[in-house]
Chain A
Amino acid sequence: MAPLFSPRAVGCLQVVARNLPGGVLAALEARLATGEDAVDLSIRLQRSSNLSALALVPMPEAVHALLVQWAQPGGALARVPSVWLEIDLPTSVAVPDLLSTPGTLLVPSVCARLRADADPLWLADTLLPALTGERPAPDLRALLLRCLAAVSPPARPVYLFSLLPRAGSPVRLEIFGLGLDGIASCLRQVAPASMDRVLAAAELLTGAERLHLSFDLGAEVLPRIGVEGSFPRLPNREPRWAELFDRLVDRGLCAAEKRDAALAWPGYDSFWTTPERWPTGVGSGGFCARALSHIKLVSRPDRELEAKAYLLLERLSSKA
């Protein structure tokens, strides 16, 4: 895992992951700057996932209630195809085992995947309260609707988050399908003071496909804004991945050794490649597949631009 993740970060990751359902798509968030060793973990839950394993994990009641509601076939959240739990791991302390240490609480950010035809009023009046566990303040509801109205097709919202671990528990909206012009247009309407700064960051993603824009909603659109980009093909078949990482290295946003490690991440392990690391009890078939998902640039007015890479992991069954 080094140099992307320190042994300490990997230790934290293992403790938390042990308590979560297996067999799900997972994403690791790596900070690319020199000296940044934190790792965050996200897992995707589908209705077919082992949700009962999560019932044992000490999480806020609102999270459990959301999962119960979401899992009900035909319920109010039936239109949410998947839910992500995102866990920010501490950077300076050991993580206690959640199931065996009384008093520990896992507080994830909760993220709902949105269908392309998601109705703004359903988002504001049904999904948002379910995510946050409370009726939204009128100002927040109005702000969400205003932001949704600023998204012009073919762009569309793809994720709505409740950032429970963050101060003030803001809501995050993530938009997919905007080009640079679309990002400018959207921000001009909802966060004009941040527009130039975010566009300057987005320029680093020039050439990237699948651009995302994400921002947080509190009393207003908060100044921390993220832009993301990726390519559908793997780095060994898509030279623009390396070009993008090179730009980040040149700007001092990414350590060269982390660039090399991220580009080398895609691949797979199996019993046949690394038997000593293959889990027991799952036979000798299947794969642990690794893929590079995307790069995110986080812009804040009071800090240097921050670059992160998202690395995917998924256990795949044997092929038929």
Chain B
Amino acid sequence: MSSVELQRFLRHLREHPGLLAELKSLGRDAEAVVRWTKERSFSLTREEIAEFFASEQELADDELEQVAGGDDAWSGGPPPPTGGP
């Protein structure tokens, strides 16, 4: 995600989050997405669009539970320390 144009595109989506749902409704039809971005004055390549869509992932409960493992996130060890007052 290092392309200046792609970063500009992401910034636009941040500022107009509703557009993300619209974009996703196009599915992963590269031609349609290219047209959609051009209509909004973005000049993205098909590779950049593929890279963008590839970044959409989900976290499974198992993966979240590894975070909950805290200090030994990958071995289910003790949770973080608690030194508050």
Identify the A interface with B (CB < 8 A).
Answer: 25, 27, 29, 40, 42, 44, 82, 84, 86, 88, 109, 111, 113, 158-159, 161, 163, 165-166, 172, 174, 176, 210, 212, 214, 226, 228, 230, 232-234, 236-237, 266-268, 270-272, 274-276, 278, 280-281, 283-287, 289-294, 296, 308, 310, 312, 314, 316, 318-319
Nearest chain A CB to B10 CB, angstrom units = 6
Q: Report whether A312 and B80 are in contact in the complex, using a CB–CB cutoff of 8 Å.
A: yes
B69 to chain A: which residues have CB within 8 Å? 232
B71 to chain A: which residues have CB within 8 Å? 25, 44, 82, 84, 113, 158
A172 to B57, CA, bound (A): 41
Nearest chain B CB to A273 CB, angstrom units = 9
B13 to chain A: which residues have CB within 8 Å? 271, 275
A233 to chain B: which residues have CB within 8 Å? 61, 65
Nearest chain B CB to A213 CB, angstrom units = 11
Q: Report whether B67 and A291 are in contact in the complex, using a CB–CB cutoff of 8 Å.
A: yes
Give the bracket for the number of chain B residues in contact with chain A. Answer: 20 to 34
Q: Name the contact of A88 in the complex, choosing from B14, B80, B85 (C-beta under 8 A).
A: B85
A310 to B10, CA, bound (A): 33
B81 to chain A: which residues have CB within 8 Å? 42, 84, 86, 111, 113, 158-159, 161, 174, 214
B14 to A, closest residue via Cβ: A275
Q: Report whether B67 and A316 are in contact in the complex, using a CB–CB cutoff of 8 Å.
A: yes
- Answer whether A276 and B83 are a contact pair too, CB < 8 Å, given A232-B69, A234-B68, A283-B55: no
A280 to chain B: which residues have CB within 8 Å? 10-11, 14
Interface presence of B64 (CB below 8 A): yes
- Answer whether A236 and B59 are a contact pair too, CB < 8 Å, given A44-B71, A210-B78: no
Q: Name the contact of A284 in the complex, choosing from B1, B59, B84 (C-beta under 8 A).
A: B1
A166 to chain B: which residues have CB within 8 Å? 85
A148 to B55, CA, bound (A): 48
Nearest chain A CB to B81 CB, angstrom units = 4
A274 to chain B: which residues have CB within 8 Å? 17
